[in-house]
């Protein structure tokens, strides 16, 4: 059974640009969550989608957005990138409200 797949694994952007990260959940999982990991702030929750609806949202500015498609794949977008957006972005999926998340390997974003 394939795990959670995140693309791209590494990317470099410059300030002011935007970026889109993709996440394919485990087959059959309908919930996808996104977390940001930085050395200074640690692991912080961005948002969670279930059946194409945002169910929960963290305390991030509106530059951070996401969506989920009918096949449960999810994308997150960060617009007007800032240096502080450099981070490992982790996606996780779960079957439903079971609260056991399975994480992908992450997308490492570097903003120059």
Least distance to other proteins from the beta carbon of 92, Å? 8
Cβ atoms of residues 73 and 5 within 8 Å? no
Determine the longest span between alpha carbons in the chain, in angstroms. 39
| Positions 20 through 49 that interact with other proteins (CB under 8 A) | 31, 33, 35, 42-43, 45, 48
Contact at 8 Å (CB) between 96 and 50? yes
Best CA proximity match to 97, nearest among 45, 40, 51: 51
Q: Which is nearer to other proteins, 87 or 90 (CB)?
A: 90
- Per-residue binding string, other proteins, 45-84, x by CB under 8 A, is x--x-x----xx-x--------------------------
- DSSP label at 101? -
CA 34 to chain centre: 3
Applying CB under 8 A, the residues found at the interface with other proteins are 4, 6, 31, 33, 35, 42-43, 45, 48, 50, 55-56, 58, 90, 92, 97, 99-106
């Amino acid at each position: 059974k394939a795990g959670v797949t995140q693309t791209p694994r590494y990317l470099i952007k410059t300030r002011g640009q935007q970026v889109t990260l993709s996440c394919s959940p485990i087959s059959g999982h309908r919930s996808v969550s996104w977390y940001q990991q930085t050395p200074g702030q640690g692991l912080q929750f961005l948002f969670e989608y279930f059946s194409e609806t945002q169910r929960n949202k963290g305390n991030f500015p509106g530059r951070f957005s996401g969506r989920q498609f009918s096949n449960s794949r999810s994308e997150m977008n960060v617009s007007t990138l800032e240096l502080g957006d450099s981070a490992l972005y982790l996606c996780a999926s779960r079957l439903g409200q079971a609260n056991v998340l399975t994480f992908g390997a992450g997308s490492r974003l570097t903003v120059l």
